[in-house]
Amino acid sequence: MNMRRSVLVLLLFLLFILEGTILPWLIPDVWQMRIIPNLVFVVLLFVAVYHHRHTALILGLTFGLLHDVVFYGRILGAHSFAMGLSAYLIGLLFQIPRAPLPLMMTVILLGSLLEDSVLFGIYSVFNLNQEPYSWAILNHMLPTMLFHFAIALILYIPLRRQLELIKKEKSTEEAA
Amino acid sequence: MSWPENFLRDTTGFVQKMFYKPAGYVAGLFEDIGNLKDLSKENEQLKILAAQYARDKAQYNFIQVENEQLKEQLKFTKAQEELYKYQYHIAQVVSQTTEPSNSTIVIDLGAKDGVRPNMSVISVDGLVGVISQVSNFTSTVKLMTMMDTNDPNSQPPIAATAINKEGKTFGMIESYDPKTNKLLMNKIPPGDPIAPKDVIVSSGIGGLYPRGLTIGTVESVEVGEFGLTSTAVIKPSAEFQDWKQLIVVFTEERAE
């Protein structure tokens, strides 16, 4: 009965694997430190807009934590917090099940910037980066935003169809 | 590390391994085709290097034998004798993340293979980073790009010296500047002969880092923070991207 939903979770896991293994080979060397692919988060934004912000929050917390534990950076939980919070906030503002493509793309740009800024904020609070915000925006946030934009364009049609199917499944479950 | 973390890391690492290596091969194939025209030039350089190596090897063998005899005569303890005997183990990279202030890679050697935190990880070019977390079958390598004096969890500073100036040059490599992509070597005493184009290697003082690991080349030497010591800007010799294999340097375990 929860077929579609497990497909979504599996897709997220697959994307998580791809962003750590295959994408570093595809992105040109010069851009590697500047484009930080976060495919999971792109899908989460879709979930937040077309499905529900609570689902996006839970998924954001879980997959953020997975990223934190697998890559074990400076502090545990930074990605978990950033992804969960920004997916939830985006859902709070833009949860529009019938949102058209241009609006969704704007959401992707905003959400990507928000997530990177939250991460930047966390590291700044703990005195872990010395660079100014303006440098960070130009160095990696803008390229990442554009990269996520392109990924979202590719994923738009299949993802929206999946999410609509999940919704339909849910409503038939409730009707039954 | 707790068991849920261990489990999560090892299972994810297993899946990632199946993706990373084939992707690397495909990317490597295209790279090889691109490099085809540089091959003859590279071959020539390697031949010169090999000849040089053969000469040095003969010399080295004499010195080594002599050194061992001297150690025996001076009655070195076992710990002292094994201080500089390192084992090099090849590790496959499993996945990587390239965030500017938070970049780590995962390799497929873990606690079961004898990896311990703070072991050095090198590529063929030079020092890449330090093992920061170890689970049963995978471990996380903190890249040199994460060196930061403000971070209490950062890898410890590296005591370094320059090739051909081993007894005379000293400095501590303490931080990495993400804006310029250079390492900073601080605490160089006044009157130090360090100069641009010197090759910087770890000196092994302090015991944590093995000695003789290539770190980078000096780009410029400036007056340091407080005006008493100098700071050298170092271009790292390892590139922090697209690895296939790395080498973990196993040191003798020793009571601290």
Chain A closest-CA separation from residue B13 CA (Å): 8
Relative to beta strand B245-250, strand B87-96 is antiparallel
Confidence band for A72, pLDDT divided at 50, 70 and 90: confident
| Model confidence pLDDT, tens digit, residues A128-174 | 888 889 999 998 899 999 999 999 999 999 989 888 888 888 788 77
Contact residues on chain A for B2, CB-CB shorter than 8 A: none
Alpha helices in chain B (DSSP H): 3-35, 39-73, 78-81
pTM recorded for the entire structure: 0.85
Q: Quick check: B101 and A129 CB within 8 A?
A: yes
> Could you give the angle at the alpha carbon of B105 between the alpha carbons of B102 and B108, nearest 5°?
155
CATH of B158-236, one of 1.20.120.160, 1.10.3720.10, 2.40.10.350, 3.30.1740.10: 2.40.10.350
B 106-125: CB under 8 A from A: 106
Instruction: Considering chain B, tell me which residue range(s) the CATH 2.40.10.340 domain(s) occupy.
Output: 38-146+240-250
Mutate to test the interface with A, among B15, B94, B101 (most CBs of A within 10 A): B101
Report whether pLDDT(B99) > 60: yes
By the CB < 8 Å criterion, does B100 face chain A? yes
Q: Quick check: A74 and B101 CB within 8 A?
A: yes
Q: B165 and B195 in contact (C-beta within 8 Å)?
A: no
Mutate to test the interface with B, among A69, A123, A129 (most CBs of B within 10 A): A69
By the CB < 8 Å criterion, does B150 face chain A? yes
Report whether pLDDT(B249) > 70: yes
The mean pLDDT of chain A is: 89
In terms of CA atoms, which chain A residue is nearest residue B153?
A: A74
The arrangement of secondary structure in B38-146+240-250, i.e. its CATH architecture, is Beta Barrel (2.40)
Instruction: Considering chain B, tell me which residue range(s) the CATH 2.40.10.350 domain(s) occupy.
Output: 158-236
Report whether pLDDT(B256) > 50: no
Q: Quick check: B241 and A128 CB within 8 A?
A: no
Residue A20 burial (CB count, 10 A): 27
Residue B145 burial (CB count, 10 A): 23
Q: Up-side HSE of residue A20: CA atoms within 13 Å toward CB? A: 29
Distance CA B79, CA B94 (A): 34
Q: Quick check: A71 and B106 CB within 8 A?
A: yes
How many Cβ pairs within 8 Å bridge chains A and B? 107
Q: Quick check: B101 and A135 CB within 8 A?
A: no
Question: Which pLDDT value is given to residue A164?
Answer: 86
| Model confidence pLDDT, tens digit, residues B113-159 | 989 888 999 988 889 999 988 999 999 999 888 888 888 778 888 89
Which ipTM did the prediction report?
0.84
Q: Up-side HSE of residue A111: CA atoms within 13 Å toward CB? A: 37
Q: Quick check: A70 and B24 CB within 8 A?
A: no
By the CB < 8 Å criterion, does A8 face chain B? no
Question: Which pLDDT value is given to residue B254?
Answer: 60
Give the start-to-end residue ranges of the domains of chain A: 3-14+35-169
